[in-house]
Structure 1
Amino acid sequence: MKADPKPSDEMTPALREPARRRNQAAQALRAAKDALSRDHIMEVAERVFAEHGFLNARMQDVAREAGVSLATLYQFYPGKKELHRGVLIERHRQMVAAVIDQVQEILERPKSVPQLLWVMKAHLAFLLEHPDYLRLILQEGYAWYHAAAQPTTDEKALWEQGIEVMVQVLGWGVEHGYLVPGNGIEQARMMLTMQQTRLANWVAGGMAEDHAAVIARVMADFVRQFCRPAFAAALLTEDGVALKPAFAAEIDGLDSHG
């Protein structure tokens, strides 16, 4: 006859479960604290790199301003290059989440040129509202899409994703007769270069100019460069410098409706 299980045999799993849950809770707490520390360090590092540039910024500066030991900083990032790239990649991901996600429906099914310019406006607004990040990427000194910037695999994937979206949107505009036909990738790169120039001028001017004025100029640049002449003439002021007030108002009206 088989002996009844000992009480200790039945109790062992029950005793182990609370210990397992406590261990999981402790691990989750450590992970949450690490995530907060990493976010804080990246915020500080972004500012330090923006103010001093990559070459002059030091890990000691980041640790001091973040209020952590140098040893703690190195636990998260093995070196300055990794920290610098980490900041760029994380902020880029935030930009994608903040901008692309909210305009995904428009990107997939555009209906008008004002919608396209509203998407551009959302992207530019993010950059202008994060001036340290903007200064950081401008300091690279290369065209944003160019391989000379020596992007990491993650950065390259993010850039290519952005270019692909722009090519798709430009193709829609060409198909519907709004935009001048051309090589989609080349046009996407030209659009990035124009934006980069305007934003660099804003930074060089002390970042004092109103965001709306900067965005308005970039949108007018796009219309002049990429819209068919007759269509562009209908959207721009007589001197071709700015968008007509009614058209600009139509774009602004999408802020609340998307």
Structure 2
Amino acid sequence: MARRGSGRSASWEWSRTAKTRRSILQAAREVFAEHGFAEASVAEFVRRAGSSVGSLYHHFGGKAELFLALWEEHQAAHEEAAAAAVARARQAGVTDPVELFIAGARAFLRGSWERRDLARLFMDGDGPPGFELMRRTRGREWVRQNAVLLGVGGAPRERLTVAVLTSVIGEAAREVAISETEEEAEEVIEAAVTMIRRFGPPRG
């Protein structure tokens, strides 16, 4: 028979573990943003998190794994925000694939402003071995998903159009991340939307 309170104890232990993990991730985010991947140190992560080297290695395995965990969270936040924006647009009655694409693009680009420290970090090219390959692989998957959303086929011109539109969003994200103010970031977003409408696939 389980001891009374064992469930509460397990819940507390899980909460403490999650808090430790989150503290380490937040500390790593700050240090990576300030120093880049190569110059960031595990000792500084631990000091800012108020944790221990053993705890960091237990939760993440090392500096590279911390960097990749932050990147995966950043990408997941982008994808969730874009998917939610597209779903809201559909619920509002939007059916034009280009306008649905724009709804997702706006959410993606606003996330680049909200998490501009991470956006700048990941576009620097300073990462652990294998990161560039992961980024390119994710980029190809992003193009594929955009092709599905836009409802285009596999003809060369259509593939090129989707690749160009995806590149527009990627480059706009860079500009958003280095914007000085939110107003400047919004100007970049609107410029990107104008380009998408201009160069998007034919409607209807």
TM-score (norm 2): 0.78
Uncovered stretches (5+) of structure 2, i.e. residues with no partner: none
Counterpart contact for 2:86–2:101, Cα < 8 Å: no
TM alignment of 1:54-133, pairs within 5 A: 54-104=37-87, 111-112=95-96, 113-133=98-118
Q: Which amino acid aligns with 1:111?
A: T
Rounded to whole Å, the distance in 2 between the matches of 1:61 and 1:148 is 22
1:75-128 per-residue CA deviation (whole Å, 9 max, x = no partner) reads 212111111111111222233223313423657996124343222111111111
**Structure with more relative contact order (C-alpha pairs < 8 Å, separation 6 or more):** 2
TM alignment of 1:29-48, pairs within 5 A: 29-48=12-31
TM alignment of 1:193-204, pairs within 5 A: 193-204=167-178
- SS of the residue corresponding to residue 183 of structure 1 reads helix
- SS of the residue corresponding to residue 78 of structure 1 reads coil
RMSD after superposition: 3.4
Provide the aligned length of Structure 1 versus Structure 2: 198
Rounded to whole Å, the distance in 2 between the matches of 1:43 and 1:168 is 35
Q: Which of 186, 189, 194 is the aligned partner of 1:212?
A: 186
Q: Which amino acid aligns with 1:40?
A: S
TM alignment of 1:1-258, pairs within 5 A: 16-17=1-2, 19=3, 21-104=4-87, 111-112=95-96, 113-140=98-125, 149-151=132-134, 156=137, 159=139, 161-171=141-151, 182-184=157-159, 186-204=160-178, 206=180, 210-228=184-202
- SS of the residue corresponding to residue 164 of structure 1 reads helix
Uncovered stretches (5+) of structure 1, i.e. residues with no partner: 1-15, 175-179, 232-258
Counterpart contact for 1:110–1:169, Cα < 8 Å: no
Q: Which amino acid aligns with 1:135?
A: R
CA gap of 1:208–1:198, structure 2 versus 1, over 3 A, is: same
1:204-245 per-residue CA deviation (whole Å, 9 max, x = no partner) reads 5556753211100111222233355xx8xxxxxxxxxxxxxx
Counterpart contact for 2:86–2:104, Cα < 8 Å: yes
C-alpha displacement of 1:151:
1.3
Q: Of the two, which has the highest radius of gyration?
A: 1
Counterpart contact for 1:191–1:222, Cα < 8 Å: yes
Rounded to whole Å, the distance in 2 between the matches of 1:168 and 1:39 is 34
Identity among equivalent positions (%) equals: 20
Rounded to whole Å, the distance in 1 between the matches of 2:33 and 2:180 is 13
